[in-house]
Amino acid sequence: MKKSWKDYCFVIIGILLLGFGLFIIKTISNPQDIMQTLPYICIGVGCGIFGQGMGNIVSEKAMENYPDIKKQLEIDKNDERNMMIVNCAKAKAYEMMVKDGQPIGNPSF
């Protein structure tokens, strides 16, 4: 869990994208073509990246005071049974996604 430098980079990149989007909205008076949507895309992506980074930082800070819970989470994450369940769920979801337009739960005869 020593990825905090990546999380801080995500926070900084998110703030920069958010600021860039707001700057474009305020400075360009008559946007054309892609410049009509680019600022809003930057704001949305910036907020998402910022939220991801801050969520990871807060989670890491909260867990450093409780090593027993942190250890249990690591065990749960790397447990063979849980990994098998996750892989089985991924396989079922992929199979449902690639099926030829069949509705979910409808048997294909």
pTM (two decimals): 0.67
Q: Averaged over 14-37, what is the pLDDT?
A: 93
Of 41, 14, 6, nearest to 25 (Cα)? 41
pLDDT tens digits, one per residue of 42-85: 999 999 999 999 999 998 888 888 889 888 888 888 888 888 99
Per-residue pLDDT at 23 = 95
3-class secondary structure, 64: coil
Residue written as token pair 């449902």: 96
Q: Is the dihedral of CA 61, 66, 70, 73 positive or negative?
A: negative
Per-residue pLDDT at 109 = 47
Q: Which two tokens stand for residue 103?
A: 């509705």
**CA-derived radius of gyration, the chain:** 21
Q: Averaged over 84-109, what is the pLDDT?
A: 73
